[in-house]
């Protein structure tokens, strides 16, 4: 839960969300991240620090550069949330398929209960 809290509080800032969105397209250096934002490098670096502490990004050393990329743990809470949402939708729409199938024959707007219709067919 702690990680999740840190992750979401790190995510509460629009600049940090934008940084993550940028990193979702691939690794980037601080300089590359500074470019699209009207911010100084130290300001961006501070945001990166928050993201790193929250476990949302990881940085590696490459000469004098420290490129950042999304950490797996950083993507998980959102992935998890999206997976939940997806599951809920799937469940609902499977039920809706069923209801639509029952509505179909009633196109004539005669609201005959489905079970009656079935029964009649069975006793042909």
Q: Which residues bind another protein (CB under 8 A)?
A: 1, 4-5, 7-9, 11-12, 17-18, 20-21, 77-78, 80-82, 84-93, 95-101, 103-104
Q: How far is the CB of 113 from another protein (least distance, A)?
A: 13
Q: Which is nearer to another protein, 40 or 80 (CB)?
A: 80
| Helices marked H in the chain | 2-10, 14-23, 30-34, 41-53, 72-103, 114-122
Q: How far is the CB of 17 from another protein (least distance, A)?
A: 5
Q: Which is nearer to another protein, 31 or 96 (CB)?
A: 96
Q: What is the DSSP letter of 59?
A: E
Structure-token match 């500074």, residue found: 34
Residue 58: beta bridge partners? 69
């Amino acid at each position: 839960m702690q990680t999740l809290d840190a992750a979401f509080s790190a995510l509460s800032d629009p600049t940090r969300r934008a940084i993550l969105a940028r990193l979702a397209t691939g690794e980037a250096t601080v300089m590359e991240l500074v470019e699209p934002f009207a911010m100084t490098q130290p300001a961006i670096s501070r945001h990166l620090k928050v993201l790193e502490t929250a476990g949302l990004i990881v940085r590696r050393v490459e000469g004098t550069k420290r490129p950042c990329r999304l950490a797996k743990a950083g993507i998980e809470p959102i992935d998890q949330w999206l997976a939940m949402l997806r599951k809920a939708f799937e469940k609902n729409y499977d039920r809706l398929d069923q209801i639509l199938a029952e509505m179909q024959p009633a196109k004539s707007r005669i609201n005959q209960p489905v079970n009656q219709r079935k029964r009649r067919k069975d006793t042909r």
